[in-house]
């Protein structure tokens, strides 16, 4: 199977498995797991923050960040297409009493600055929940994985800073963003007070995300991780894979981007497939197909029959994601399969 549903399907490399078996371990709830501590120091350094916290998932990283930044009854201003708003089970509202306030996401994943300014510049008034933080996402998952321009991150940070509000960056795929923007994760993260990123997507680790920020913030987030049940014991077993990922799997993401570009070019030539345009493409291709939901389902089934899996994004939209384990030859095979499947599903 050529599995293009997500980069989360990646499996740990041989070097990761080897590192996992040999990892030095301790009880991380006591702060005594040397491998977790090393991973946290590496992560903080890479994104240019003082400290980092290893957590089980990106969802928990973002939730711990919001709970640490925002008091009950305050607003987290975030994109209406943000992963945290759409896909994280409403955790900040359910568990933190935080008023998640959506700001329009433009095509490239940027926030509508006019609407954000309006929210931020509203004078204090007892009728309104006061803002507690602003969140960005880069790359932007629901905007076809687009990398968001650093200048936009800077503009958001400036608006937030004028109100003394913290900015959190959901950087689940921050290294993909850095490659697409020809910059570094540190430069992108410089426009946020706190940043989360995932090890378990394109970096191919089995489990884990990092939340990074000031020493003082991470100390408070540490308590939130405990509250959320995310205090793990000999977590060095999984952190060891994270160290290998940061050392060996970051630069190769460029290959996923090249493959995604080839996939987009190939799919773009297939009649019945309409690509979402993306200025700063990373490792995703999102497209709509002609016709109705039944035709779309037929298309996906015909692709599956030919050994290609894609992800559904609504009734007639799909997502294909390149990742470790998908080679250029797989891309060519997927394009050929898509042409056949489209012929089957949309002809007549």
The site for ligand PLP (CB under 6 A) is made up of: 57-59, 62, 83, 137, 141, 170, 172, 198, 200, 209
Least Å from the CB of residue 141 to ligand PLP: 4
Q: How far apart are CB 304 and ligand PLP at their closest, in Å? A: 23
Q: Would you call 169 helix, strand, or coil by DSSP?
A: strand
344 class by beta-carbon count within 10 Å (0-12 exposed, 13-18 middle, 19+ buried): middle
Q: At its nearest, how many Å lie between ligand PLP and the CB of residue 159?
A: 21
For ligand PLP, give the closer residue by CB, 58 or 166: 58
Give the nearest distance from C-beta 257 to ligand PLP in angstroms: 16
Contact indicator for 269, 129 with CB cutoff of 8 Å? no
Q: How far is 94 from 304, CA to CA, in rounded Å?
A: 37
The neighbouring-strand residues paired with 55 are 209
8 Å CB contact between 318 and 289: yes
Least CB distance from residue 57 to ligand PLP, whole Å?
Answer: 3
Joined together, the tokens standing for residue 148 give 């968001």
φ, ψ of residue 243 to 5 degrees: the values are -65, -45
Which residue number, 170 or 193, has a Cβ lying nearer to ligand PLP?
170
When the beta carbons of 44 and 211 are compared against ligand PLP, the nearer one is 211
Nearer to ligand PLP, 47 or 342 (CB): 47
Name the residue nearer to ligand PLP (CB basis): 326 or 341.
326
Q: Which of 123, 124, 78 is nearest to 98 (CA)?
A: 78
**3-class DSSP string for 256-310:** HHHHHHHHHHHHHCCCCEEECCCCCCCCEEEEEECCCHHHHHHHHHHHHHCCEEC
In whole angstroms, the minimum distance from the beta carbon of 130 to ligand PLP comes to 25
**Location of structure tokens 């795929």:** 173
Q: Among all residues, whose Cβ is closest to ligand PLP?
A: 58
Judging by beta carbons within 10 Å of its beta carbon (0-12, 13-18, 19+), is residue 183 exposed, middle or buried? middle
Q: Which is nearer to ligand PLP, 276 or 299 (CB)?
A: 276
Q: How far is the CB of 204 from ligand PLP (least distance, A)?
A: 13
Nearest approach in angstroms of CB 313 to ligand PLP is 13
| Residue number with CB closer to ligand PLP (4 or 342) | 4
Report residue 122: phi and psi, to 5°.
Answer: -65, 125
Q: Which is nearer to ligand PLP, 37 or 62 (CB)?
A: 62
Angle, alpha carbons 104-107-112 (nearest 5°): 30
């Amino acid at each position: 199977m050529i599995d293009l549903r997500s980069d989360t399907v990646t499996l740990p490399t041989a070097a990761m498995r080897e590192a996992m078996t040999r990892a030095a371990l301790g009880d991380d709830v006591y702060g005594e797991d040397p491998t977790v501590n090393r991973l946290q120091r590496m992560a903080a350094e890479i994104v240019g923050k003082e400290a980092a916290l290893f957590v089980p998932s990106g969802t928990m990283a973002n939730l711990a960040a919001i709970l640490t930044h925002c008091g009950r009854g305050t607003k987290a201003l975030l994109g209406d297409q943000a992963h945290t708003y759409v896909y994280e089970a409403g955790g900040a509202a359910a568990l933190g009493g935080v008023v998640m306030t959506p700001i329009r996401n433009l095509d490239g994943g940027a926030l509508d600055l006019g609407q954000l300014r309006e929210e931020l510049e509203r004078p204090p008034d007892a009728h309104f929940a006061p803002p507690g933080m602003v969140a960005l996402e880069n790359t932007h998952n629901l905007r076809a994985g687009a990398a968001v321009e650093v200048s936009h991150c800077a503009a958001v940070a400036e608006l937030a800073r004028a109100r003394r509000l913290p900015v959190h960056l959901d950087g689940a795929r921050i290294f993909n963003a850095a490659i697409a923007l020809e910059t570094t994760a540190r430069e992108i993260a410089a426009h946020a007070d706190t940043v989360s990123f995932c090890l378990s997507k394109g970096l191919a680790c089995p489990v884990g995300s990092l939340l990074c920020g000031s020493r003082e913030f991470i100390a408070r987030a540490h308590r939130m991780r405990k509250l959320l049940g995310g205090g793990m014991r000999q977590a060095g077993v999984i952190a060891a894979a994270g160290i290998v990922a940061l050392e060996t799997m970051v630069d190769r993401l460029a290959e996923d981007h090249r493959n995604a570009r080839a996939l987009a070019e190939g799919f773009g030539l297939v009649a019945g497939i309409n690509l979402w345009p993306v200025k700063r493409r990373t490792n995703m291709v999102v497209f709509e197909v002609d016709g109705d939901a039944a035709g779309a389902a037929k298309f996906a089934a015909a692709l599956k029959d030919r050994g290609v899996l894609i992800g559904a994004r609504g009734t007639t939209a799909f997502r294909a994601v390149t990742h470790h384990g998908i080679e250029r030859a797989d891309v060519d095979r997927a394009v050929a399969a898509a042409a056949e499947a489209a012929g089957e599903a949309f002809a007549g």
